[in-house]
Amino acid sequence: MSEINYQEAYEREHEKCADLADKIVVLESEKEDLQFKLDRIKMNKFWKATGPARSLIHFAQRQRDRLSHCGGPKDILRKIRNKSRQKSLMESYGTGSFPDAEQRKKEEETIFPYMPKISILVPLWNNKREFQIQMLDCVMNQTYPNWELCLADGSDAEHSYIEELCREYAAKANGRIVYKHLDHNGGISYNTNECYKLATGDYIGLFDQDDILHPSVLYAYVKEINEQGADYLYCDETTFKENDINKMLTMHFKPDYAPDNLRANNYICHFSVFSRKLLEGEELFRTAFDGAQDHDMILRLTDRAEKIVHVPRLMYYWRSHEGSTAASIDAKPYAIEAAKGAVADHLKKHGFKHFQITSTRACATIFRIRYQILGDPKISIVIANKDHVEDLKRCITSIQKNSTWSNYEIIVVENNSTTPEIKDYYSQLLGLSGDDSYEERCKLHTVCGHDGGILHSGDGRISIVTYHGDFNYSAVNDLGASYASGEYILLLNNDTEVITANWMEEMLMYAQREDVGAVGAKLYYADKTIQHAGVVIGLGAHRTAGHTHYRIPVQNLGYMGRLCYTQNVTAVTGACLLVKKSLYEQVGGLDESFVISLNDVDFCLKLRKLGLLNVWTPFAELYHYESISRGLDDQGEKAERYNRESEHFREKWKAELESGDPYYNPNFSLDRSDYALKDPAVSGR
């Protein structure tokens, strides 16, 4: 960078800082004024007297908010239908999934090549008698025999029946139950670490005292240990009320290992079983993170694991009762800060600095993470266009007016436009007028193949490349990308409109990571229903790929809050996709054999084959007025072309489709995009 450019950049930043400083002064003054008024209201006797009435009003507001998160009446009905279907299937995922006598006999008699001992750790403290009995029974009833139950009891004298029960069960467990009464209750981390001192197993399992295990869970885990060499395993889980596991409250069907999901949300949780080797030189639970000790442990051990396996079966039953975290995170408010601390510690170990961790509207322990952007990399925004002047104008205007990231260029790839309006707009973008117009400039270029050359605006911020030939979305964007001068390429449809001012920063903070391939945004239709929140392969009638949460209202939190945090996905739409230019070139750009459809999914799968993660973030938001430019693919020749491209996609990615999308649980129906369950009889990969 020249000295002049450096000086200009310095002056621009100095002006920005001065402007921001002025705004801070104004906001601080307003804050002090508002705080004074608020304090005066709270000290008022009338305010204190109306406390009960306000509590009722707040309750009503919370119920209203719950309904608004569902969307409109149709969406509420859809949620009711889904809940009704879930309710009808609960027993199938509960006691109905337990092995019958024949299956139990088969599992009990199975001899695996490797029969590891699994030490199940259960810290005890003042557990209810019936909960204690159910916990002990579910371990005794495991179909896999080589287990060890390690119990460290910090209960007080009033709960002496716990020791009596443990010793009674130990007497009939053939040495597989090890019990120790602690001289004091040291809390969840201390008590669990005491359990670990008793363990002699090859694998360690973590189990809460008031929960229940599926009788086949250890069998299923050992099967995966033998078949896949798993050193960290987890399964799906549900919360239930009272003493009936079939009375389920929330059924959590999880994705396979997804590091960005795990940083934002401890989705793995139960039932974690891992190789003892992963703990070499490590503590099991760290008391500094009491309340989120499991999240901290999972982050540490999955970092060290070589083969993390998710068993997509509901095999852990998490009891919800007064005081449990399953009932409400508010029961343990300290857990929120502990979880933030655990994630922060994990991020620091991965070399991240100056990040921010905040709670989201989904839940206090579902986080938004803001990473520091390194340097000032240039982003090349590539927009394919044919006519549709109003769409392109709206798109580019929204970029220029709404974006806070300044180091970008816009490359419009023109393809066979015919209207004078679009050519006039091109002239406007390039700063041309009169005889020196876009159309006249184009006549001066020598056309060679598809490449009709490039024209730049005076400041170099906007360029127009001409692509000659029939429309091919892949080829058009590849041409635009070849002219990009930025370190990053952002593919953007001309029928989009920027909503979030820092949309480029929100995507760039992930795209800059060495382990990330493509990054996608949250896209809405004009009515603020969701058009794109990540792509699942195998979803939809063609069994190629589809968008999840399709047409869900903006207020909705998504399945298990998934519309509220950044996560790993198999693919993102090319309507708004950010990627390093070096990676774009490494995988050969978009495959031109996919003329219109599925080229973006194909591109993301190529990145995934390199071992990279694709990321979707809800914090970069745009409107996407889908299919305005080219129409739908559901009739005539377009439908035939889509069928051909679908067949090509299914053949090219046959193995991946057969394996199933790792971020979409196989218990979900592939016929719907709203995480509706399919019958358990046909679940599994």
**In the predicted model, what is the mean pLDDT of the chain?**
91
From CA 283, how far away is CA 293, in angstroms rounded? 11
Q: What percent of the chain has pLDDT over 70?
A: 90
Burial of 139 (0-12, 13-18, 19+ CB in 10 A): buried
Distances from the Cα of 572 to the Cαs of 531, 542, 587, 630, 655, in angstroms? Answer: 11, 18, 16, 20, 20
What average pLDDT score do residues 418-424 get? 94
Is the pLDDT at 258 greater than 50? The verdict is yes
Burial of 450 (0-12, 13-18, 19+ CB in 10 A): middle
Q: What does the pLDDT read at residue 447?
A: 41
Dihedral sign computed on CA atoms, order 552, 558, 564, 570: negative
As a residue count, the chain comes to: 685
Q: What does the pLDDT read at residue 629?
A: 45
Distance of CA 22 to the CA centre of its chain: 37
Distances from the Cα of 77 to the Cαs of 69, 73, 659, 668, 677, in angstroms? Answer: 13, 6, 33, 19, 16
Confidence (pTM): 0.88
Q: What does the pLDDT read at residue 322?
A: 67
Instruction: Enter the DSSP assignment of 635.
Output: S
From CA 484, how far away is CA 478, in angstroms rounded? 10
Is the pLDDT at 323 greater than 50? The verdict is yes
Q: Higher-confidence residue: 76 or 226?
A: 226
What average pLDDT score do residues 465-493 get? 96
Q: What is the pLDDT of residues 229-251, one digit of tens each?
A: 999 999 999 999 878 999 999 99
Bridge partner list, 462: 410
Assign 24 a pLDDT band (cuts: 50, 70, 90). confident
From CA 84, how far away is CA 252, in angstroms rounded? 16
Q: What does the pLDDT read at residue 41?
A: 85
Is the pLDDT at 404 greater than 60? The verdict is yes
CA dihedral 327, 331, 332, 333 (to 10 degrees): 120
- How many Cα atoms occupy the beta-carbon half-sphere of 569 within 13 Å? 30
Least confident of 23-27, 58-62, 554-558, 640-644: 58-62
Is the pLDDT at 75 greater than 70? The verdict is no
What average pLDDT score do residues 127-142 get? 97
From CA 467, how far away is CA 40, in angstroms rounded? 67
Q: Please enumerate in sequence order all residues whose Cβ is within 8 A of that of 616, keeping only pairs 6 or more positions apart, or say none.
A: 519, 520, 521, 522, 533, 534, 566, 567, 568, 569, 572
Q: What is the pLDDT of residues 520-542, one digit of tens each?
A: 999 999 999 999 999 999 999 99
Is omega for the bond preceding 274 within 30 degrees of 0, making it cis?
no
Q: Higher-confidence residue: 418 or 242?
A: 418
Q: What does the pLDDT read at residue 331?
A: 44
8 Å CB contact between 240 and 255: no
Q: What is the pLDDT of residues 284-307, one digit of tens each?
A: 999 999 999 999 999 999 999 999
Distances from the Cα of 489 to the Cαs of 320, 365, 382, 589, in angstroms? Answer: 47, 33, 7, 11
Closest-CA residue to 15 (of 354, 503, 406): 406
Q: What is the pLDDT of residues 339-369, one digit of tens each?
A: 999 999 999 999 999 999 999 999 999 999 9
Q: What percent of the chain has pLDDT over 90?
A: 75
Q: What is the pLDDT of residues 36-46, one digit of tens each?
A: 888 888 888 88
8 Å CB contact between 618 and 566: yes
Taking CA 522 as the corner, what is the angle to CA 521 and CA 528, rounded to the nearest 5 degrees? Answer: 150
Closest-CA residue to 251 (of 311, 205, 315, 206): 315
Least confident of 168-172, 322-326, 441-445, 578-582: 322-326
Q: What does the pLDDT read at residue 448?
A: 42
Is the pLDDT at 64 greater than 80? The verdict is no
Burial of 532 (0-12, 13-18, 19+ CB in 10 A): buried
Assign 662 a pLDDT band (cuts: 50, 70, 90). very high
